[in-house]
Amino acid sequence: MGKKFKDSEVLLKIRGLKIQGYTDEKWIDIIKGVDLTLHRGEVMGLIGESGAGKSTIGAAAMGVCP
């Protein structure tokens, strides 16, 4: 993150995101401790392997995780 975003408005701030899912009769961690901050004017992309949790993080950021 460049200095130009240091004092700009924070649009999204996530700290310690943890999401669990139920499988095989037990709860498992799907997302473990994600931190991110998005400022006005900043563009962010999530990259990773298939099934890594990118869409789950996006859903959590929008408040639509079940």
In the chain, domain spans: 9-62
Q: How confident is the model at residue 1, as a pLDDT? A: 47
- Which residue type is seen at 63? G
Q: Is the pLDDT of residue 50 over 80?
A: yes
Question: What is the reported pTM?
Answer: 0.76
Q: Read off the pLDDT band of 8 (50, 70, 90).
A: confident
pLDDT, mean over the chain: 88
